[in-house]
């Protein structure tokens, strides 16, 4: 999403068909879930409590009331889309590898279905005014690590742009106007303006006065130590629930903060690719607060979501929850996105 958000929450409207709503781990024996067994995994649809914060743009299932329109701006159609990764703060090698495995899974791969690359197919349905589709191919072009916290351990929206400027001016990164995404990931000990209170991540573009160029970028923070019940939901639950409600879902890679972060990264990459300069695909009349393709499906992970259910997702034999497969045997849990063809939220793990 753009300038002001990854807003989280619960729906204001309810429509029939598949829908939204975030999840938390419900024990296998709980009556508050719907289950379907297959040979390799158990599909289940847990019913969960609401998040701590609730202001949402989500729509359950499909609706003719969703006026997602094209505003004649560019999409990221050149292949490949180059991801320039900025690791801000201290990141371990396994943490970096997990996130990179997700990003590299977006391009067409041999990962079993339902896969991350199949999830991205919905994103690639969006076109620009020439009919060119969002690219199916993403690569990690370069990486830059800032373990010295060169702009401090608290970042504002403007100082995030200064982090990008430092990376560009010190020449680890080229200036890539055409098909570059500058992705800033902050470690668990970095606080960011509005993080946990109003956003889990956001995307926008840099100001020439700050960076020297107009470059699409996204920021996402690791909420594992700061607000997992907000930004890593459904892998953490609100503290007010104590022991009286459903537990958190088990993260597919065993890291609540990073597994939660990956769905936010997916959300932001999908929206940035279809609305990089905030003048392409969005609903609403205000380009500074657009409703984008991830916003419309926030909290929906599978068929049959809505009314407190997150949709049919999978649980492996170790109890880990996921809805897509990635490279190197990885499993991930990522939210669905709005399909311009179906006029509904869509994902590769759909059962209908």
List, as one string, the DSSP characters of 280-338. SEEESS-TTS-B-TTGGGTT--STT-BTTB---EEE-TT-BEESEE-GGG-EE----EE
Q: What is the mean pLDDT of the chain?
A: 85
> What is the mean predicted confidence (pLDDT) over 219-232?
95
Winning range, highest mean pLDDT, from 170-174, 229-233, 346-350: 346-350
User: Which of the residue ranges 128-137, 200-209, 247-256, 267-276 would you say has the lowest mean pLDDT?
Assistant: 247-256
Higher pLDDT, 242 or 336: 336
d(Cα 70, Cα 44) in Å, to the nearest integer?
A: 36
Chain segment 117-156, per-residue pLDDT in tens: 999 999 999 999 999 999 999 999 999 999 999 999 999 9
Percent of the chain with pLDDT over 90: 69
Convert 11-23 to b/e letters by CB count within 10 Å (16 or more is b): beeebebbbbbbb
**pLDDT over 50 at 30, yes or no:** no
List, as one string, the DSSP characters of 232-291. STTSS--GGGTTSSPPPPBPTTS-HHHHHHHHHHHHHHHHHHH-TTSSSEEESS-TTS-B
How far is CA 240 from each of CA 24, 42, 79, rounded to the nearest angstrom? 14, 29, 47
Burial class (CB in 10 A: 0-12, 13-18, 19+), 170: exposed
**pLDDT for position 287:** 84
Ramachandran angles phi, psi of 242, nearest 5°: 55, -130
**pLDDT for position 27:** 31
**pLDDT for position 234:** 86
Residue 26 neighbours by CB under 8 Å, 6+ apart = 32, 33, 44, 46, 47, 48, 246, 247, 249
> What is the mean predicted confidence (pLDDT) over 29-44?
56
Chain segment 231-259, per-residue pLDDT in tens: 998 898 776 554 444 567 999 999 999 99
Tell me the pTM.
0.86
User: Which of the residue ranges 30-34, 138-142, 225-229, 288-292 would you say has the lowest mean pLDDT?
Assistant: 30-34
**pLDDT over 80 at 12, yes or no:** no
> What is the mean predicted confidence (pLDDT) over 309-338?
95
> What is the mean predicted confidence (pLDDT) over 1-29?
35
**pLDDT for position 345:** 93
Listed residue (234, 220, 226, 188) closest to 333, CA to CA = 234
> What is the mean predicted confidence (pLDDT) over 311-330?
95
> What is the mean predicted confidence (pLDDT) over 53-64?
45
The rounded Cα 90 to chain-centroid distance in angstroms is 22
Give the H or E element holding residue 181. Answer: strand 180-186
Residue 49 neighbours by CB under 8 Å, 6+ apart = 24, 237, 238, 241, 245, 246, 308
**pLDDT for position 246:** 53
**pLDDT for position 241:** 53
d(Cα 179, Cα 82) in Å, to the nearest integer?
A: 6
Strand partners, 59: 13
Higher pLDDT, 36 or 248: 248
When pLDDT is cut at 50, 70 and 90, the band that residue 225 belongs to is very high
Residue 38 neighbours by CB under 8 Å, 6+ apart = none
**pLDDT over 80 at 19, yes or no:** no
Higher pLDDT, 313 or 19: 313
The pairing of beta strand 324-325 with beta strand 281-283: unpaired
Burial class (CB in 10 A: 0-12, 13-18, 19+), 318: exposed
Cβ neighbour number for residue 349 with a 10 Å cutoff: 23
When pLDDT is cut at 50, 70 and 90, the band that residue 81 belongs to is very high
The 3-state DSSP class for residue 57 equals coil
The 3-state DSSP class for residue 152 equals coil
Chain segment 174-192, per-residue pLDDT in tens: 999 889 999 999 999 999 9
């Amino acid at each position: 999403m753009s300038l002001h958000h990854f807003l989280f929450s619960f729906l204001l409207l309810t429509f029939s068909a598949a829908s939204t709503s975030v999840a938390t781990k419900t024990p296998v024996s709980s009556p508050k879930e719907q289950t379907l067994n297959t040979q390799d995994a158990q599909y289940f649809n847990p019913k969960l409590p609401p998040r701590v914060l609730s202001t949402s743009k989500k729509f359950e299932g499909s609706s003719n009331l969703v006026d997602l329109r094209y505003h004649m701006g560019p999409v990221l159609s050149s292949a490949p889309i180059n991801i320039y990764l900025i690791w801000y703060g201290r990141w371990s090698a396994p943490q970096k590898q997990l996130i990179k495995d997700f990003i590299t899974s977006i391009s067409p791969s041999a990962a079993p279905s339902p896969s991350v690359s199949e999830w991205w197919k919905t994103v690639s349905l969006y076109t620009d005014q020439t009919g060119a589709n969002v690219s199916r191919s993403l690569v990690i072009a370069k990486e830059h690590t800032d373990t010295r916290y060169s702009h401090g351990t608290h970042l504002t929206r403007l100082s995030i742009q200064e982090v990008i400027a430092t990376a560009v001016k010190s020449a680890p990164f080229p200036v890539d106007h055409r098909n570059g995404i500058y992705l800033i990931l902050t470690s668990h000990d970095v606080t960011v303006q509005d993080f946990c209170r109003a956003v889990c991540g956001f995307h926008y573009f840099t100001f020439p006065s700050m960076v020297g160029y107009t470059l699409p970028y996204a920021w996402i923070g690791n909420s594992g130590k700061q607000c997992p019940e907000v930004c890593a939901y459904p892998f953490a639950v609100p503290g007010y629930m104590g022991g009286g409600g459903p537990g958190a879902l088990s993260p597919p890679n065993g890291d609540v903060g990073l597994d939660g972060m990956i769905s936010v990264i997916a959300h932001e990459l999908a929206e940035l690719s279809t609305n990089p300069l905030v003048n392409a695909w969005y609903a609403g009349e205000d380009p500074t607060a657009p409703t984008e393709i991830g916003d419309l499906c926030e909290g929906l992970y599978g068929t049959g979501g809505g009314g407190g259910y997150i949709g049919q997702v999978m649980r492996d034999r170790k109890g880990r929850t996921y809805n897509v497969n990635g490279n190197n045997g990885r499993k991930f849990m990522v939210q669905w996105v709005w399909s311009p063809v179906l006029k509904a939220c869509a994902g590769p793990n759909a059962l209908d």
